[in-house]
């Protein structure tokens, strides 16, 4: 029964434990009227009616950390700061909804990553770039919207430990360029205050060409004194009105966005100029490394888009100022279902780094197809870069453990919109929840996170929880099987990025080629090819450069191989393509059947919404299977050993 305007996701408190009598609230060492503390108390009252709560100041607990303990008298949360109190209260709530009684609550934790950020790609006209869940709930008709939905959003984010939100698209155009002007300061300061109450700092994406677009200047050269002076005035004006602003995210020299290259300056010149200007206010500049040539000629086999990030940024390692963080996508290309880890992560050893992943399912099924992405994020975090004898995983690097730095963490392109269920597909909320939990504690497993999310969202009996958990955990591999094989990526419909089009990008300017002909497929990124392999530290470079040691799920990312190449499974490459596509489609049907089996335990409305998505997913899987198989059968002329129908 959903009578509310939108769902409450994992905070629906459907079985709030209720005890008779009055619940006491004791606060020691904090101001109970401070917004963060007051919000924590309000949340607790909502979730756990009738249970007493004590919030105590404890200096010994690390910043943003907490200790939450239950006893016969209720719940006690100890922390050294207000965010710790907030997170501790949410931890207690989580434990209670994951099956513990109040007296059994016991958890001590502090975040592994300093920055845990959401990046919205929301435009001011209300549309969302790569959004699959309706329109923006931040912007409408070039105005900022603040309402109950905004508050619920902030609650959800706080409950999973998010402490920074970028509200607007990285492609800053039109009205969005004016977010740093008087036109929007009033509303922004209201939003910033609301966020602060949930421990969240407001950030914005910035137009590098602001001096031209809103300042009326004829240049935005970062080394031009007049440009610097313009930014100094501008940033002062911004911080006078938005003293709590965290800083800015900048997409420069990328896919048509302006940047320092226009003036013969480096990425560091651009980032450092802004960082110096913002430094007196405690702000930071998050500078994206998604810089590549997007006007490539498909005939050109030398230029390799995968190389671009490293080629542009590695040489400037150490040149970036302390309050600059480079934001690096998990893979060297662009959020494909399978990519190697970007060699920039850990390749940089003297620069703050933040890992960027995409929760929005741009290339992973548009929140129509089920694709639980936490296993993918885990693989990235656990990857050994070999940048350090001990602390060399991506998790080590971005958390600051490797370099002993304090600026770094994880950011995600979010999957929300104003749909009733926030994420288009109800099950896609597992990715939203999971990203936050994982950014807070990178040691959690994909399964633990899935189970938490299921328990809080649906509260299912064990058997049904197992079914849904298994569906989530299988889903990424299923999606991978019926789409592009062995790390080759793309093969999607251009622009929209949903559904198959094997040659959709093959003759385009975007640098995303599979190079299939009648003999074989794949991109040679070894020394004989583009040399991309050598951007990794030696151990990884060696592993990738030989198809025998290259992890097989990535073999076509690194090698051009004949269809007759024998995989470790004993199957030829072409047979693997056929088998995986038949299997993937069949397993998608298995997922849909599993969902059907949950009909009696899932609320009717949610059940129906997800069922509709599965119907679409099955069409999609079938289309992928048949187009990919037919394409390779026609190219190679090699028949399926099992004689199945290929068109
Ligand atoms: C992808 C996506 C774009 C987006 C870009 C980015 O290429 O398709 O819509 O702007 O990533 O990350 O900046």
Statement: residue 407 has pLDDT above 50 = yes
Protein residue with least CA distance to atom 7, ligand 1: 334
For 308-354, how does the pLDDT look when each residue is reduced to its tens digit (9 = 90+)?
A: 999 999 999 999 999 999 999 999 999 999 999 999 999 999 999 99
- Both tokens of 284, joined, read 């930071």
Q: Is 127 in the pocket of ligand 1 (CB under 6 A)?
A: no
For 116-161, how does the pLDDT look when each residue is reduced to its tens digit (9 = 90+)?
A: 999 999 999 999 999 999 999 999 999 999 999 999 999 999 999 9
> What stretch of H or E contains 26?
strand 25-28
Residues near 404 by Cβ (< 8 Å), separated by ≥ 6?
A: none
Q: Is 490 in the pocket of ligand 1 (CB under 6 A)?
A: no
Q: What is the DSSP string of 104-130?
A: G-EEEE--S-SEEEEE--B-TTS-BTT
> What stretch of H or E contains 178?
none
How far apart are alpha carbons 331 and 383 in whole angstroms? 12
Domains and CATH numbers, the chain: 13-109 (3.30.379.10), 115-457 (3.20.20.80), 481-523+560-636 (3.90.1330.10)
Q: Is 251 in the pocket of ligand 1 (CB under 6 A)?
A: yes
Q: How far is the CA of 255 from the centre of ligand 1 (A)?
A: 8
Statement: residue 189 has pLDDT above 60 = yes
Mapping DSSP to helix (H, G, I), strand (E, B) and coil, where does residue 285 land? strand
- Considering 240, 255, 539, 641, which one is annotated as catalytic? 255
Per-residue pLDDT at 464? 98
Model confidence band, residue 1 (pLDDT cutoffs 50, 70, 90): very low
Is 395:388 a contact under the CB 8 Å cutoff? Answer: no
- Mean per-residue pLDDT, 548-572: 98
Examine the residue annotation and report whether 362 is marked as an active-site residue of this protein: yes
Q: What is the DSSP letter of 466?
A: H
How far apart are alpha carbons 609 and 617 in whole angstroms? 13
Is 122:153 a contact under the CB 8 Å cutoff? Answer: no
Residue 532, classified by CB atoms within 10 Å of its CB into exposed (0-12), middle (13-18) or buried (19+), is buried
Q: Which atom of ligand 1 is nearest to the CA of 329?
A: 12
- Considering 43, 78, 269, 334, which one is annotated as catalytic? 334
Examine the residue annotation and report whether 524 is marked as an active-site residue of this protein: no
Per-residue pLDDT at 7? 97
Q: What is the DSSP letter of 340?
A: P
Q: Is 334 in the pocket of ligand 1 (CB under 6 A)?
A: yes
Protein residue with least CA distance to atom 11, ligand 1: 334
- Mean per-residue pLDDT, 255-284: 97
For 16-54, how does the pLDDT look when each residue is reduced to its tens digit (9 = 90+)?
A: 666 666 789 999 999 999 999 999 999 999 999 889 999
Examine the residue annotation and report whether 623 is marked as an active-site residue of this protein: no
How far apart are alpha carbons 369 and 618 in whole angstroms? 8
Per-residue pLDDT at 18? 64
Per-residue pLDDT at 20? 64
Q: How far is the CA of 639 from the centre of ligand 1 (A)?
A: 38
Per-residue pLDDT at 4? 67
Q: How far is the CA of 74 from the centre of ligand 1 (A)?
A: 48
Q: How distant is the alpha carbon of residue 2 from its chain centre? A: 28
Q: How distant is the alpha carbon of residue 232 from its chain centre? A: 32
How far apart are alpha carbons 274 and 268 in whole angstroms? 10
User: Which 3-state string (H, E, C) describes 52-87?
Assistant: CEEEEECCCCCCCCEEEEEECCEEEEEECCHHHHHH
- Both tokens of 530, joined, read 């583009």
Is 625:485 a contact under the CB 8 Å cutoff? Answer: no
Q: How far is the CA of 246 from the centre of ligand 1 (A)?
A: 23
Per-residue pLDDT at 23? 85
Mean pLDDT of the chain: 97
Q: What is the DSSP letter of 572?
A: B
Residues near 620 by Cβ (< 8 Å), separated by ≥ 6?
A: 365, 368, 369, 498, 499
- Mean per-residue pLDDT, 289-296: 96
Protein residue with least CA distance to atom 2, ligand 1: 130
Q: How do beta strands 74-79 and 106-109 pair?
A: unpaired
> What stretch of H or E contains 157?
helix 148-159
Q: How far is the CA of 102 from the centre of ligand 1 (A)?
A: 45
Is 556:485 a contact under the CB 8 Å cutoff? Answer: yes
How far apart are alpha carbons 93 and 531 in whole angstroms? 51
Statement: residue 179 has pLDDT above 80 = yes
Residue 187, classified by CB atoms within 10 Å of its CB into exposed (0-12), middle (13-18) or buried (19+), is middle
Statement: residue 3 has pLDDT above 60 = no
Mapping DSSP to helix (H, G, I), strand (E, B) and coil, where does residue 355 land? strand
14-23, 63-72, 208-217, 348-357: least confident range: 14-23
- Mean per-residue pLDDT, 407-436: 98
Mutate to test the pocket of ligand 1, among 362, 504, 511 (most ligand atoms within 8 A of CB): 362
Statement: residue 269 has pLDDT above 60 = yes
Statement: residue 526 has pLDDT above 90 = yes
Neighbours of 599 (CB within 10 A): 11
Per-residue pLDDT at 14? 81
For 347-392, how does the pLDDT look when each residue is reduced to its tens digit (9 = 90+)?
A: 999 999 999 999 999 999 999 999 999 999 999 999 999 999 999 9
Mutate to test the pocket of ligand 1, among 127, 207, 290, 364 (most ligand atoms within 8 A of CB): 290
Statement: residue 218 has pLDDT above 90 = yes
Per-residue pLDDT at 17? 62
> What stretch of H or E contains 561?
strand 561-562
Statement: residue 173 has pLDDT above 70 = yes
* 0.95 exceeded by pTM: yes
Q: Which of 133, 258, 264 is nearest to 206 (CA)?
A: 258
- Mean per-residue pLDDT, 522-528: 98
């Amino acid at each position: 029964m959903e009578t509310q305007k939108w769902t409450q996701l994992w905070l629906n408190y459907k079985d709030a434990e209720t005890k008779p009598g009055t619940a006491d609230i004791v606060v020691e060492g904090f101001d109970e009227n401070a917004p963060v503390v007051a919000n924590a108390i309000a949340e607790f009252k909502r979730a756990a009616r009738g249970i007493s709560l004590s919030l105590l100041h404890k200096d010994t607990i690390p910043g943003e950390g907490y200790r939450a303990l239950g006893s016969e008298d209720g719940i006690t949360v100890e922390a050294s700061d207000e965010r710790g109190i907030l997170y501790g209260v949410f931890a207690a709530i989580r434990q209670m909804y994951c099956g513990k009684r109040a007296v059994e609550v016991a958890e001590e934790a502090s975040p592994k990553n300093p920055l845990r950020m959401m990046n919205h790609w929301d435009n001011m006209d209300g549309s969302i770039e790569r959004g699959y869940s309706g329109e923006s709930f931040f912007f409408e008709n070039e105005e900022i919207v603040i309402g109950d939905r905004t508050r619920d959003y902030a609650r959800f984010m706080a409950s999973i430990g998010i402490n920074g939100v970028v509200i607007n698209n990285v492609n800053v155009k039109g009205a969005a360029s004016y977010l740093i002007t008087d036109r929007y300061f009033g509303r922004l300061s209201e939003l910033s205050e609301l966020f602060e109450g949930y421990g969240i700092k407001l950030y914005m994406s910035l137009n590098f060409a602001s001096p031209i677009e809103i300042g009326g200047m004829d240049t935005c050269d970062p080394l031009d004194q007049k440009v610097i002076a313009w930014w100094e005035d501008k940033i002062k004006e911004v911080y006078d009105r938005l003293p709590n602003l965290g800083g800015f995210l900048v997409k420069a020299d990328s896919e048509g966005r302006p940047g320092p290259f226009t003036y013969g300056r480096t990425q560091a010149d651009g980032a450092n100029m802004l960082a110096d200007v913002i430094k007196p206010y405690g702000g930071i500049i998050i500078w994206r490394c998604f810089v590549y040539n997007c006007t490539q000629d498909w005939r050109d086999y030398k230029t390799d888009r995968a190389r671009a990030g490293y080629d542009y940024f590695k040489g400037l390692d150490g040149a970036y100022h302390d309050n600059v963080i480079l934001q690096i996508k998990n893979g060297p290309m662009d959020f494909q279902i399978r990519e190697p880890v970007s060699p920039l992560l850990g390749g940089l050893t003297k620069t703050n780094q933040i890992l960027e992943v995409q929760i929005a399912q741009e290339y992973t099924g548009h929140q129509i197809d089920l694709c639980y992405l936490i296993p993918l994020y885990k693989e990235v975090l656990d990857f050994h870069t070999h940048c350090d004898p001990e602390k060399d995983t991506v998790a080590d690097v971005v958390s600051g453990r490797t370099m002993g730095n304090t600026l770094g963490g994880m950011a995600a392109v979010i999957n929300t919109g104003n749909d009733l269920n926030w994420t288009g597909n109800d099950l896609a909320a597992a990715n939203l929840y999971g990203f936050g939990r994982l950014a807070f504690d990178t040691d959690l497993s994909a399964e633990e996170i899935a189970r938490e999310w299921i328990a809080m969202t649906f509260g299912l009996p064990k058997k049904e929880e197992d079914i849904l958990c298994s569906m989530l955990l299988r889903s990424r591999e299923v999606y991978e099987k019926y789409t592009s094989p062995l790390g080759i990526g793309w093969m999607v419909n251009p622009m929209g990025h949903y559904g198959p089009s094997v040659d959709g990008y093959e003759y385009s300017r975007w640098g995303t080629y599979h190079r299939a002909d009648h003999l074989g497929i794949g991109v040679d990124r070894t020394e004989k090819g583009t040399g991309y392999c050598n951007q990794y530290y030696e151990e990884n470079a060696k592993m990738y450069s030989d198809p025998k040691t290259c992890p097989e799920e990535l073999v076509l990312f690194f090698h051009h191989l004949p269809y007759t190449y024998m995989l470790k499974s004993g199957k030829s490459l072409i047979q693997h393509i056929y088998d995986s596509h038949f299997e993937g489609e069949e397993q998608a049907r298995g997922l849909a059947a599993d969902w059907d089996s949950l009909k009696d335990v899932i609320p009717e409305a949610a059940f129906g919404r997800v069922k509709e998505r599965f119907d679409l997913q099955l069409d999609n899987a079938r289309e992928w299977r048949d187009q990919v198989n037919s394409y390779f059968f026609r190219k190679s002329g090699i028949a399926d050993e099992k004689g199945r129908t290929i068109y």
